[in-house]
Structure 1
């Protein structure tokens, strides 16, 4: 799939570096556009963004093409994004519920997207040896799968848009909700949580997200199982990306993300029953 060449206006304006995110470096704003290096998942991401535009989903940037420097060009999404240190409002339950509604809106819009011929997720990256099994449920849509506070844009206290689709891939709806819970409940050892969320009632926050999303009873019963299986796989995936891709992936691995994933798995083993009880209670 050949990307469209972006035609610059006569006076595009200066390049303003944008902070945030864990991996992608060199992101800048130019006028009303954002310029990002082309990622390894770019063909899928560009096709997905075109689909979201075609179906009228307002909560994503528009893909405009590739500029003369070889960077993808996206529309700039206005609003508020949680940077670091995390603001206190990441613990706000009204904002949390709005995250669940935005994820549901995105998933509904993405459900009709079909991968174009020849486009596959994470092309050129093979599954590493020893990778644990994936959850045994068929994919339902191409999910965003990176609902960090850096990637959700808020307006007037409501989650309004998603950015950074680099990890998009075919998944189930329960995997999408798990990913949102991972970052916003947050699912994991409290020692690894951002300060505003270290004393959070995690099962309660999981329930708020599930209710706002409109999660099915079946998916609620599968959530903990999927969370454990995905966590086990993520250790292998993160190590592989650190070794093969370097950059921000390698930095995160050096900073201990692998140990954090192991602590999350242990926390889920200890607390999964409480999370499931909160999700499935009448």
Structure 2
């Protein structure tokens, strides 16, 4: 897919920095647009966003082109994101259910996406030494795979849109739900959870997300397995990105994300049976 040049409005607008993400720097708002550095996954993301526009999915920004500074231009998505420090409302179960519905609507919208010829995801093909195998389930959708509190836009208390598609890639649907649960249940040692989520009933929140997504029985039975396998791989992949890409990846590694991943893996091993029971109860 060839990106096209964005034609600027005749009316000048100031550049307003947008903060909140962990990795991408230099994101600004200009009028009704957002300008972001072009990342390694940009061809895939641009094709994906154009597909979402073609099918009429309302919950994503529109890709408008590349500006004269070489930045990608997207429509600005109005609404509320959690930000930092996290607001108390991230623990609200109605909002949680709306996250599950939005993820399902997105996955249904991209189920028919066909990657254009010559376009690949922008992640390294070679895997770091010693990395455990990925879950053995085939890709079904072009997943968003970064459902952090910073990347879901709420309106009137409901999840309405997704932003930041930099980590999008083909995955199984169970991966998508697991990723949402990781941040919103959350699937983590409570010591690493956002303060409003440290004392919540995690298995119950997993069930709320699964029900809102209308998760299949087969995927419910796979969820804990996938969460453990993805956590084991995550340590190696995060370390690789920190070493090879630096920037925000290196900062997170230096701040101890590797230790957090190890704690998550241990917590999942200890609590997996309880989560599995909640997901699969009648």
Q: How many residues are treated as equivalent by the alignment?
A: 282
Deviation of the 1:128 alpha carbon: 1.6
RMSD: 0.8
Q: Structure 2 CA distance, aligned partners of 1:177 and 1:241?
A: 23
Deviation of the 1:125 alpha carbon: 5.0
Partner of 2:167: 167
1:191-242 CA distance string (max 9 Å, x none): 0000000001000000000000000000000000000001111111111111
1:155-198 CA distance string (max 9 Å, x none): 00000000000000010000000000000000010000000000
1:26-58 CA distance string (max 9 Å, x none): 000000000000111000000000000000000
Q: Structure 2 CA distance, aligned partners of 1:240 and 1:64?
A: 32
Partner of 1:91: 91
After TM superposition, the score normalised by the length of structure 1 is 0.99
After TM superposition, the score normalised by the length of structure 2 is 0.99
Q: Structure 1 CA distance, aligned partners of 2:272 and 2:186?
A: 13
Deviation of the 1:126 alpha carbon: 2.6
* Runs of 5+ unmatched residues, structure 2: none
Deviation of the 1:124 alpha carbon: 4.7
Structure 1 outlier segments of 4+, above 3 Å: none
Partner of 2:187: 187
Local SS of the residue matching 1:78? coil
1:66-108 CA distance string (max 9 Å, x none): 0000000000000000000000000000000000000000000
* Runs of 5+ unmatched residues, structure 1: none
Q: Structure 1 CA distance, aligned partners of 2:100 and 2:67?
A: 34
Q: 1:19 to 1:13 in 2, by over 3 A?
A: same
